[in-house]
Amino acid sequence: MRERKSFDEGWAFSLCDQAEAKELWFDDSCWEKVTLPHDWAINGGFEKQAPSGEKGGFTRGGTGWYRKLFTADQTLLNQEVFLTFDGIFMNSSVWINGTLLGEYPYGYLGQTYCLTPHLKAGINLLAVRVDCQNQPQSRWYNGCGIYRHVWLTTCGPVFTALDGWHITSAFSEKYDACLQIEAPLENRSSREECVQARLSLLDPAGKEAAESSCMVSIPSDGYSCRFTLDVPSPALWSPESLSLYTAQMTMCCSGRSGAARISSPCGIAP
């Protein structure tokens, strides 16, 4: 079962640039305790001579660090674990237990990191460095810091790629719809996995409008599962009529207990 939970609470913040802050032993007891989203620029007051100038709201930039300690129990260690930042402005670097996960210069898109190979039993540390020294950084105010939500996603060894669904629609002359749904599947186990996959389309009222099932073998390098669904006289999406369907996929792996489920909203429009 895929589970996605908020990772917004329990962070410590300092407007400083200390390279040692990425290490577990570093003492952050005097840092500010914050809950994300967080913008240190708007919280830092306004200065007429601030380098951000009028377009940046007369706020100061600088370099900030965030740290979060969390515990990994055996249940977490037995799963695939991903960390998603919806937005960090900007020039961010992310570490776990002193190991660099990645760097990202852009401030308007989310970023996801795999924590699985880096987790250890007991206390773990996430550290994020955000560099906003180069001011002004835009033609409008954009703030500084982890300014959107953070999510921790856990799932089994076989799962649909995060944000990987591709849904298209075509119509017949009678305005019946045909949906083509592609769901990339990843396999992080050490063997080929046999998976029973079922795709159900729920209408805006929550009733099943169409379904399709298949049995697939997923190699270690992954597989793209494709479904075709016929939907007679669908409720159409438009700016005036926000009719949304839900594509819901259930996967059962042979020899493994439990089922993995994921869903995605979709609109049908000509």
- Chain CA centroid to CA 187, Å: 19
Which residue, among 103, 134, 125, 12, has the nearest Cα to 65 in the 3D structure? 12
Instruction: Report pLDDT for 172.
Output: 82
Cis preceding-peptide flag for 90 (omega within 30 of 0)? yes
Rounded to an integer, what distance in angstroms lies between the CA atom of residue 71 and that of residue 51?
40
Instruction: Report pLDDT for 99.
Output: 97
Domain boundaries, the chain: 3-155, 158-266
Per-residue tokens: 80 = 């695939």
Helix (H) or strand (E) holding 75: helix 74-77
- Chain CA centroid to CA 15, Å: 26
Instruction: Report pLDDT for 137.
Output: 67
3-state SS class at 97: coil
Per-residue tokens: 84 = 């998603």
Same fold, 3-155 and 158-266: no
Rounded to an integer, what distance in angstroms lies between the CA atom of residue 143 and that of residue 146?
9
Pick the CATH number of 3-155 from 2.60.40.10, 1.10.3110.10, 2.60.120.260, 2.60.120.370: 2.60.120.260
pLDDT tens string 133-154: 776 666 667 789 999 999 999 9
What average pLDDT values come out for the chain (270 residues) when binned by 10 residues?
92 95 97 96 71 59 93 96 96 97 93 97 98 73 90 91 85 85 88 90 95 90 87 92 93 78 88
Q: Give the total residue count for the chain.
A: 270
Instruction: Report pLDDT for 200.
Output: 94
Instruction: Report pLDDT for 51.
Output: 63
Read off the pTM. Answer: 0.86
Instruction: Report pLDDT for 136.
Output: 66
Q: Which fold has domain 158-266?
A: Immunoglobulin-like (2.60.40)
Residue 239 DSSP label = S
